[in-house]
């Protein structure tokens, strides 16, 4: 019986949470505008009303805060900022401070909107990198080829992939031979040979030969969709420093409730207790870390990096030495012949080169093409034709492991961006530490002023949310941050010392 009640309550909370999210950012902005107008009408008494216009702000901005606090308490026993704000709102209304309640609710929602917009800007850069899914697929039905939306492909369907096309779903080659560029999945710049029985992954590019394949993983199960989910879920939640900030926030809530109760008992003024609840709320501390991490992830995406784990940049900031895979990373990944040497006394270097070029003339492998190209450049003519040419592909790597292996992936060949990524990770950690220090200092000063009665709930909300805005703005600066030449030289000088 109890289990059914708990399940019913959780379902109700989930529906309520879904309801609160309806309308998205446009709804939030609209409610804030209406609430702001209502507060102006209230403070200047612009329109004669039978009630205080601040009630509009309480209803439109305050009730969602209270409901979110209830949802957090019921579903996850989450005692965070919303709980303090809700208590402050209810207490303000009970003692007749209606305008203070409406103004606090308005400012709190405004701070939340600014945080959402910062995260949205960070994710916008990520979304551009993960739009790799092909839109259509060539499905073979009854011997005829038909173009269908990629999401309409079913497991077991027979597909044809032409040279230069992106593979639409995961599958197994049933006829044909080719080389596949798997850089988006594995980071390997050289194409991998594929033949009958080999697996191919969605999002990778067919380089040369046409082939037919049987779909094995489609839709959300495909490799490219898995990678997209990994990137989209790369939030700040797993970073250790976020957990530390959250633990501090929880303790701050407990201390705030205790301080408010003691102040009310000792001073006898409930308005001081309400102010303490407002200024003690860790609204500046809570976004101090995740907004900085999300902004840094957005910056990294603009420079060609897919950050798949929230704590990857935090760990990268501590890296002191880097090991590279040379081919296609420190080199261009475009092979060429630099030396030919024959080990057979009866076969000259020139003749060996000529025969190898002839054997590779119709090869679609990048190494074979390099031999043919370089031979032609040296001889000034096409290699002779080989008889009975047959391409036998090698066995490539399964990208299923690779797609889950790297926390940060470089999707192009711009390895010169790596110093920027490392500098960005260090800058991110400095921003986080500055945000946390500023938030805690501001909270401490505001609490002292609230206990002594210097601050009222309205001024307290302004001061405390000004801190939130400054923290979010400081984090947002990471979105377009780039290491300057002077910073690079300073870093190099520091290392040499």
Instruction: Give the span between the Cα atoms of 312 and 334, in whole angstroms.
Output: 30
Q: Across the strands, what pairs with 213? A: 159, 173
Tell me the Cα Rg of the chain.
31
Instruction: Give the span between the Cα atoms of 4 and 105, in whole angstroms.
Output: 35
Task: Name the nearest CA neighbour of 301 among 161, 418, 106, 127.
Answer: 127
Compute the residue count for the chain: 497
Q: What angle do CA 143, 148, 150 make, to 5 degrees?
A: 120
Instruction: Give the span between the Cα atoms of 153 and 460, in whole angstroms.
Output: 58
With tokens 């009970």, the residue in question is 94
Instruction: Give the span between the Cα atoms of 248 and 36, in whole angstroms.
Output: 32
Q: How far is CA 286 from CA 277, 444, 493, in A?
A: 16, 15, 36
Q: Is 202 exposed, middle or buried (0-12, 13-18, 19+ CB in 10 A)?
A: buried
Please give the helix or strand (H or E) that residue 37 lies within, else none.
helix 24-44
Helix intervals (H) in 130-179: none
Give 281's DSSP letter.
S
Phi, psi of 115 (to 5 degrees): -65, -45
Q: Across the strands, what pairs with 175? A: 212
With tokens 């379902």, the residue in question is 11
Active site residues: 325
Instruction: Give the span between the Cα atoms of 190 and 273, in whole angstroms.
Output: 66
Instruction: Give the span between the Cα atoms of 265 and 214, in whole angstroms.
Output: 74
Contact assessment for residue 52 and residue 38, using Cβ atoms and an 8 Å cutoff: no
Question: DSSP 3-state assignment of 410?
Answer: strand
Instruction: Give the span between the Cα atoms of 80 and 408, in whole angstroms.
Output: 31
Phi, psi of 46 (to 5 degrees): -75, -35
- For the chain, the straight-line distance linking the first and the last C-alpha, in angstroms and rounded, comes to 70
């Amino acid at each position: 019986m109890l289990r059914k009640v708990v399940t019913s309550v959780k379902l109700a909370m989930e529906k309520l949470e879904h309801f609160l999210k309806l309308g998205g950012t446009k709804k939030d902005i609209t409610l804030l505008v209406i609430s702001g107008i209502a507060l102006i009408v209230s403070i200047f008494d612009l329109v004669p009303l039978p009630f205080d216009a601040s009630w509009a702000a309480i209803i439109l901005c305050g009730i969602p805060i209270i409901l979110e606090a209830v949802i957090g308490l019921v579903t996850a026993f989450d005692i965070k900022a919303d709980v303090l704000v809700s208590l402050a709102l209810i207490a303000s209304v009970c003692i007749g401070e209606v305008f203070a309640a409406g103004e606090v609710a308005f400012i709190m929602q405004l701070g939340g909107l600014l945080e959402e917009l910062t995260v949205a800007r960070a994710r916008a850069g990520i979304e551009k990198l993960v739009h790799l899914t092909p839109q259509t697929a060539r499905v073979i039905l009854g011997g005829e080829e038909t173009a269908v939306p990629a999401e309409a492909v079913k497991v077991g369907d027979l597909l044809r992939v032409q040279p230069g096309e992106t593979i639409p779903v995961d599958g197994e080659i049933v006829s044909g031979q080719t080389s596949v560029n798997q850089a988006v999945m594995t980071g390997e710049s050289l194409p991998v040979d594929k033949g009958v029985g080999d697996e191919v992954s969605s999002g990778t590019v067919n380089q040369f030969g046409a082939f037919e394949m049987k779909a094995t993983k489609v839709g959300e199960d495909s490799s490219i969709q898995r990678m997209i989910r990994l990137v989209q879920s790369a939030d700040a939640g797993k970073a250790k420093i976020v957990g530390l900030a959250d633990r501090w926030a929880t303790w701050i809530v407990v201390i705030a409730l205790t301080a408010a109760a003691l102040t009310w008992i000792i001073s006898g003024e409930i308005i001081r207790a309400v102010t303490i609840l407002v200024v003690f709320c860790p609204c500046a501390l809570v976004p101090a870390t995740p907004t900085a991490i999300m902004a840094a992830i957005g910056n990294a995406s603009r420079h060609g990096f897919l950050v798949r784990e929230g704590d990857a940049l935090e760990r990268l900031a501590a890296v002191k030495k880097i090991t590279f895979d040379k081919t296609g990373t420190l080199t261009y990944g475009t092979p060429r012949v630099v030396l030919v040497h024959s080990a057979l006394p009866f076969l000259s270097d020139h003749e060996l080169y000529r025969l190898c070029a002839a054997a590779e003339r119709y090869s679609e492998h990048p190494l074979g093409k390099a031999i043919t190209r370089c031979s032609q450049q040296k001889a000034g003519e096409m290699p002779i034709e080989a008889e009975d040419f047959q391409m036998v592909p090698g066995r490539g790597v399964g990208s299923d492991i690779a797609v889950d292996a790297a926390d940060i992936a470089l999707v192009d060949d711009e390895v010169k961006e790596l110093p920027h990524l490392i500098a960005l990770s260090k800058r991110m950690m400095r921003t986080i530490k500055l945000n946390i220090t500023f938030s805690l200092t501001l909270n401490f000063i505001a609490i002292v002023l609230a206990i002594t009665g210097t601050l009222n709930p309205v001024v307290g909300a302004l001061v405390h949310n000004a801190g939130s805005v400054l923290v979010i703005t400081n984090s947002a600066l990471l979105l377009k941050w780039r290491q300057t030449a002077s910073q690079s030289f300073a870093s190099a000088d520091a290392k040499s010392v």
